[in-house]
Structure 1
Amino acid sequence: MARQPIRPNLRYSAEHEWIDSSSPARVGVTAVAADALGEVVFVDLPQPGAEVSAGQTCGELESTKAVSDLYSPVTGVVVAVNEALEEDPALINADPYGQGWLFTVEVGSEGDLLSPEEYAERFDAVVEG
């Protein structure tokens, strides 16, 4: 199996979520997770206004293989969700770092996040660029 690419400008959770540095911050799942899940067929995301806690479950991703918990990489308040995923959850597989983002959050505090290099080493991925 080919090593999955990850982005150098993001930080990662050990549960395979990524977060960018924008404000509000955008959250998604890595290509490693998307590949392991298989075709995503349904998403259950936190609602705007909901409080999420770093390292705690905040939703689910359902694929043709299994249902997997979604963990928040930070503590904060959800600002928006990617409504396009309701119509086409497979965007997570097709473009996990772009159109397949999950939600945005106003960050109160961060959880234990990994650098791209730390994530790549731990999960046999490769940092792009």
Structure 2
Amino acid sequence: MDQAQVNETLQRLSAQLNRTTSGSPAFRQLAAQEEAIVFADLDVHAWGFLQAALGRPLAAGETAAVIAAASRDQPISSVLPLAAGADTALTVRVLRHRRDWTQAHLAEAARVSVAQVQAIETADAVDLTALQSVLVALGRHLVVAPA
């Protein structure tokens, strides 16, 4: 899959997830617990990446498990069966929204350079190209559910 195909697939997936995820019970549960879970500004795209990595919507109880794992700085793959590479993307997305993490901590947690994390962290919108470049640098590929 070349970069253009990756970008097209990710854009299509992002649009689909924007339409469907914002009204999901998982997203509503997150919104209700915002102040209790540190990463209060975690947006719908992070949950979208999670659902894409799973290849299905979150089941009952999985949202709480993800929140608990992230709050304890555990990888999301410790509570959900994710394909190789997906956990890194999700770690970048979740930690991007953790108010108490510095860029150095982000880079260490995601095993990428501070500059790569900065490119994602400072984007006004979800920068799928920057996220893909981080994964390519790690020698991994983003797992994308079929549209």
Q: Same fold (TM over 0.5)?
A: no
More helix by share: 2
TM-score by length of 1: 0.31
User: Could you say which structure has the greater relative contact order, defined with CA pairs below 8 angstroms and 6 or more residues apart?
Assistant: 1
TM-score w.r.t. structure 2 length? 0.28
